[in-house]
Amino acid sequence: MNAIALRVENLSKIYKIGQTVGYNTIRESLTNVMTAPFRSLRQMGDRRRKGEATSPRSSVSSPPNTIWALKDVSFEVKHGEAVGIIGRNGSGKSTLLKVLSRITAPTEGRVEIRGRVGSLLEVGTGFHPELTGRENIYLNGAVLGMSRAEVKRKFDEIVAFAEIEKFLDTPVKRYSSGMYVRLAFSVAAHLEPKILLVDEVLAVGDVQFQKKCLGKMSNVASEGRTVLFVSHNMAAVRELCPRAILLSDGRTLNDAPSPNVISEYLSAQSDVSSGDMAVSDPLLRRNSLPNSRFRWTRVTIKNSEGRVTGLLKFGEPFEIVLQGVADSELTEVRAGFSIDSVLGVAIFNSFQIDNGIPARMPAGQIRFCVRMDPNFLAPGLYKISLGANGDGIIDFLPTTLQFTVSTAGEEDKNPWRNYHGGVMRYPCRWYIE
């Protein structure tokens, strides 16, 4: 199904910093509605007399103490698509979903929505704290425009998914945050909205419930409904959403397949690595033995030309240099490292005793050099973890130096080569039988 479910055109939203919102009476609200057209005509006439532009997009200036939460955001989402919205805190993700949910109005631009919207923007949004879980299910159904019969048909499924049977007739104000979010998500996902908006609420639930939610959202998308998913969990975004949109300072930086967008986002979050890092910070050694007889001191990355750098080209061999110090002669030590994806997935590890280096080491400084040739790492961001154990030795540093593998040459001209579904590109041998 290729019909457009949601279209956003030049969407902008401005907020006044420190603004206090007042509340009008019904009479004041009705008066404002009735006089709004006349105020607009009067303002347009004033701008003409002053020689100012009269187009809506140029009419909104940026006065002092204001901030653009969104600025000229445009995209389309088709029915059945699952799209991730990612970006740093303050990038405009939550504001975007609030505009799409009609909680707040845009300052500029327009939004076209085709279908009923179910949203889960904050824990317990739309719940009345004094009502029971049962009553809130029916209340939310009514808000979504569903009849009581429709809600009743889905009722048992909602309760079973939320796992709150024992507390169904308890006021939700007495629910824990986890119970709150389980019920809120279950209601939003099961009352059959055509478009489901979810904003970083799954972090409240436990791991098992998060897996259930991801599975449910995947089912919602496979049924031809649309999902917009805001999250800082890149693994969840990549698993659920084939496509992702990256926001920064209220603007769209990228709209592409999620592996590429996530890679760009994570690369921007980390400082450009110099390729060299001393590992003396005690915080890195929170899982180490305080008086370990062997300690790592430095990790360095060199490219194929021997230059220290944190930016490698795809396919280019490189070298990892590991330095440590032994307080005394060691008779039994197992020292190694692992390369992990930025999502925390261990790709592989290697130890000195598995590569011809003996377990016995002399006292003092020691320097290991590990040649990575060929380089099978796909373009993306990676990190190095260090570990050592043995007799009186425990030195474990789960995250040290980060480095980036980038595309180069013909890679950039071939979009299929850039769309990788894993962290390694193994040179497989294909043949036709």
Residues 209 and 358 placed together within one structural domain of the fold: no
Residues 212 and 328 placed together within one structural domain of the fold: no
Q: Which of 45-54, 343-352, 413-422 has the highest mean pLDDT?
A: 343-352
Residues 281 and 250 placed together within one structural domain of the fold: no
430 is a domain residue = no
Out of 5-9, 30-34, 57-61, 292-296, pick the least confident: 57-61
Structure confidence at residue 409 as a pLDDT band (50, 70, 90)? very low
Taking each helix axis from N to C terminus, what angle separates 148-162 and 177-190, rounded to the nearest 10 degrees? 140
432 is a domain residue = no
Residues 64 and 99 placed together within one structural domain of the fold: yes
User: What stretches of 51-176 show up as alpha helix (H) in DSSP?
Assistant: 56-59, 93-100, 133-143, 148-162
How far, in Å, CA of 101 to CA of 8, rounded? 13
Residues 214 and 349 placed together within one structural domain of the fold: no
Structure confidence at residue 197 as a pLDDT band (50, 70, 90)? confident
* Range of the structural domain that residue 252 is part of: 4-269
Helix (H, G, I), strand (E, B) or coil at 175: coil
- How do residues 304-320 score in pLDDT, each as one tens digit? 999 999 888 888 899 99
Tell which of 231, 247, 269 closes a domain. 269
Q: Which two tokens stand for residue 272?
A: 């450009």
Q: Which two tokens stand for residue 420?
A: 């990788």
Residues 169 and 144 placed together within one structural domain of the fold: yes
Residues 230 and 289 placed together within one structural domain of the fold: no
Give the CATH number of the domain where residue 359 resides.
Answer: 2.70.50.60
Tell which of 220, 235, 269 closes a domain. 269
Peptide bond into 374 cis (omega under 30): yes
pLDDT, average across residues 43-72: 62
426 is a domain residue = no
- Give how far the C-alpha of residue 192 lies from the chain's centroid of Cα atoms, to the nearest Å: 25
Residues 184 and 149 placed together within one structural domain of the fold: yes
Tell which of 231, 253, 269 closes a domain. 269
pLDDT, average across residues 366-386: 88
425 is a domain residue = no
Residues 313 and 330 placed together within one structural domain of the fold: yes
Give the CATH number of the domain where residue 158 resides.
Answer: 3.40.50.300
Phi-psi region of 297 (alpha: psi -120 to 50; beta: other; left: phi over 0): alpha
pLDDT of residue 194: 85
423 is a domain residue = no
Residues 312 and 243 placed together within one structural domain of the fold: no
221 is a domain residue = yes
431 is a domain residue = no
Tally of domains within the chain: 2
Residues 316 and 338 placed together within one structural domain of the fold: yes
Residues 297 and 312 placed together within one structural domain of the fold: yes
- How do residues 115-174 score in pLDDT, each as one tens digit? 888 777 765 566 788 899 999 899 888 876 778 888 899 899 889 888 888 899 999 888
